[in-house]
């Protein structure tokens, strides 16, 4: 029995969505779709096109929308680093989308319906054959509302801030814990209050608070759920 499903993981910033999604995709040999990387790619593209006005901290969205048709995003497996990289118009931009400049604009550009519509269509196309694990903010209740397994990740602001702080320090960034915490609180407000596809838990999502939960325990829980879902699906279609 090899019944493929769609696994949608939503949740707050730095709640461990990507870590969990990557581990699941590796175990199941599923395709991993990082929706956050797609929005970061759009932000990078806009910065390169000089759409961003640094003096007023605004985006000239009217001029930017027509440029969306020039964007082609693909996920490709990187054997050297054992990971999935994102490509913008055939350029590997995996490392470039992690800059502070891109990071600071992701929540802002994700508010625009034209951008969300384009990326939603791309994500649905990537998942048309199932066998995917996708993480983001609205993948369960909006992008893949019929996904067989929906997970909603959460954790205390202190733990999430520490994880983010440690990650940035490991990458050589000079930041303070308080600064990271402040930025995460702002990100949470932006994600949950936007008019278009805000971050929210679907009624049929399984909530996981991993404040004190190891990745091993999270994976054990997830694979128990997957086993039940795939068995039920198999019995239904027999």
What is the total residue count of the chain? 238
The lowest-confidence range among 5-14, 30-39, 58-67, 76-85 is: 58-67
pLDDT tens for residues 17-45? 999 999 999 999 999 999 999 999 999 99
pLDDT tens for residues 46-70? 989 888 665 554 567 778 889 999 9
pLDDT tens for residues 127-156? 999 999 999 988 998 999 999 999 999 999
Confidence of residue 231 (pLDDT cuts 50, 70, 90): low
Query: Does pLDDT of 236 surpass 60?
Result: no
pLDDT tens for residues 98-126? 887 888 788 788 888 899 999 999 999 99
Give the model's pLDDT for residue 235.
45
User: What are the DSSP calls for 76-131, one per residue?
Assistant: EEETTTTEEEEEETTEE-TTGGGSHHHHTTHHHHTT-HHHHHHHHHHHHHHTTT--
Give the model's pLDDT for residue 151.
96
pLDDT tens for residues 183-224? 899 889 988 988 888 898 989 999 999 999 999 999 999 999
pTM: 0.87
Q: With H, G, I as helix, E, B as strand and everything else as coil, classify residue 75.
A: strand
Residue environment code for 10-28, b if the CB has 16+ CB neighbours within 10 A, otherwise e:
bbbbbbbbbbbbbbbbeeb
22, two tokens: 């990557």
d(CA 238, CA 227): 16
Q: With H, G, I as helix, E, B as strand and everything else as coil, classify residue 33.
A: strand
d(CA 126, CA 150): 17
Using the structure block, give the residue that is written with the tokens 């930017």: 64
């Amino acid at each position: 029995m090899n019944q493929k499903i769609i696994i949608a993981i939503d949740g707050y910033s730095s709640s461990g969505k990507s870590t969990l999604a990557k581990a699941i995709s590796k175990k199941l040999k599923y395709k991993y779709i990082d929706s956050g990387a797609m929005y970061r790619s759009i932000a990078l593209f806009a910065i390169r096109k000089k759409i961003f006005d640094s003096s007023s901290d605004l985006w000239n969205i009217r001029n930017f929308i027509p440029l969306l048709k020039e964007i082609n995003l693909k996920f490709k497996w990187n054997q050297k680093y054992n990971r999935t990289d994102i490509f913008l118009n055939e350029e590997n931009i995996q490392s470039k989308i992690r800059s502070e400049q891109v990071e600071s604009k992701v929540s802002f550009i994700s508010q625009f319906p034209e951008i969300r519509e384009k990326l939603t269509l791309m994500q649905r196309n990537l998942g048309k054959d199932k066998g995917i694990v996708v993480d983001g903010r609205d993948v369960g209740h909006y992008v893949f509302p019929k996904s067989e397994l929906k997970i909603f990740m959460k954790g205390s602001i202190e733990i999430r801030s520490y994880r983010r702080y440690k990650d940035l320090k490991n990458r050589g960034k000079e930041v303070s814990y308080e600064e990271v915490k402040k930025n995460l609180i702002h990100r949470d407000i932006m994600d949950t209050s936007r008019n278009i596809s805000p971050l929210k838990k679907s009624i049929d999502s399984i909530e996981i608070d991993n404040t004190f939960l190891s990745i091993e325990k999270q994976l054990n829980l997830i694979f128990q759920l997957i086993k039940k879902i795939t068995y039920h699906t198999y019995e239904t279609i027999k």
